[in-house]
Structure formats: C-alpha cells, structure tokens
Amino acid sequence: ITPTEMDLEIVYEDEDVLVINKPKGLVVHPAPGHSDDTLVNGLLYAMGDDLSGINGELRPGIVHRIDKDTSGLLAVAKNDLAHTMLASQLKDHSMHRVYEAIVCGSFREDSGTVDAPIARKPLPSLLREISPQGKPSVTEYRVIEETGGYSKVALRPITGRTHQLRLHCAHMGFPILGDPQYNTESSRALSDSMGLHHQLLCAKKLEFDHPVTGAHMVLESNLDAKI
C-alpha cells in the first residue's frame, strides 16, 4: 500500500488511539475497485509504522469501518493492545456509536428499536437484504426533528452489520435521503432532483473507554447530516 499525503482531520490522538473525522467520499481501506487513495493510505503517510497490525497489511489500525459516503468519526488503534481492547468493546456493545441521518417521511413514534436480521444478497451482488436467514441486527432510533416531509433521526447500531442503518431505515419505510442503493423509486427520484448522490448519514458521536488508561471518552463530530 502506497502511503499518500492526505488532509486528515484528527479529532483526538494519543500514543494509543487516533480518532479521525472521515469526510464522505473517502473509502476506509483498500478493497476491489479501491486500491489507492483510501483512509489507510493517508494513515500510513501520517503514522508510518505507528499502527496496529492485527487486521493485516490492508487494514492497519482499522478497528471498525464506515461506508465510503458516510462521514464522521472513526477510531484507529496505534498498537495491538489498543486494538484488542477496542475490538472487545465493539463486540460487547460497550463502545457506543450514534449516527445522524435525514430520512424521507415522518414518524408516528419519537423513538423505537428495529430488530431485523440482515443477510448478504446472492453473489455477485455486494448488497445486503433483510432476511429471516440473516444475522441478528438491531438498531435504536430517536427522532430529532421533522420538517417538510423529512425527519432527522439519531441512530444507534447495537450490532454492526454492513449497511445496517441504511437497510433498517428503508425497512421501516423511511429510507435515508440520497441513498443510491436502498431507496424506493420515488425517494430515489427525489434525491436525484436534489442532486444528492450520497446518503445523508453521519457518524456523529463515539463513546468508549480508553483501552489503556480506562478513561471514559466521549467524542463528537463537527460534521452533520444535512440537505
């Protein structure tokens, strides 16, 4: 992987942990079709060898990921101990992640929980679908405000399935505005008319215990999901 100079917004950094404010449009790590100009390329330029190696050469330091067109906070481990401890918090759900999204439609209830299993669609598709044969997937939601047929909602993924928030919002009947894959025909046409080609979804808040000191960390992105 070629280290690439990149303007990374660092929200927090110490000798163990790095938290990045990822802009939309940036792929987190190399994958088929995206071998260069990923966040990992930028991290290697900025950090050199000061990244954990648990996830291998293609994903150094990456504890969790967010979609290319989702903006917001992403935790990076600078050593294997920090990576192990953060991954453990992610697994037992003690690492709290809160996203903001703008969705189509208005809710009847101010808050609730979506419990709908998610499975991979048959290959060669890389998309996911709601399926009884899928893995357990749970998301909590809370309405922040509603206006003009749209709602801004806070979304907390209890599990961490690929495309979970986008799928669960669509499953409820409130697709995320601008989502190119999981929108209905009408909401996709609305997104196109507004010139939106990425989902209005932001990883707004990240809360975890520091993997070495144990200090409780609460970090918030200055980015927003907005039209």
pLDDT reported for residue 80: 96
Give the span between the Cα atoms of 146 and 77, in whole angstroms. Answer: 37
Question: Where is 44: in which H helix or E strand?
Answer: helix 39-47
Instruction: Kindly report the average pLDDT of the chain as a whole number.
Output: 92
pLDDT reported for residue 1: 81
The secondary structure of 130-174, three-state, reads: ECCCCECCEEEEEEEEEECCEEEEEEEECCCCCCHHHHHHHHHCC
Question: Where is 86: in which H helix or E strand?
Answer: helix 80-91
- CA 20 to the chain's CA centroid: 12
pLDDT reported for residue 227: 61
67 given a catalytic annotation: yes
| CA nearest neighbour of 78 among 47, 51, 46 | 51
Which residues of the chain carry a pLDDT beneath 50? none
pLDDT reported for residue 219: 97
pLDDT reported for residue 31: 77
| Residue tagged active-site, from 14, 50, 67, 92 | 67
- CA 169 to the chain's CA centroid: 14
pLDDT reported for residue 112: 97
Give the span between the Cα atoms of 203 and 180, in whole angstroms. Answer: 18
Task: Report the Cα–Cα distance between both ends of the chain, in Å, rounded.
Answer: 35
Contact 8, 20 (CB under 8 A): yes
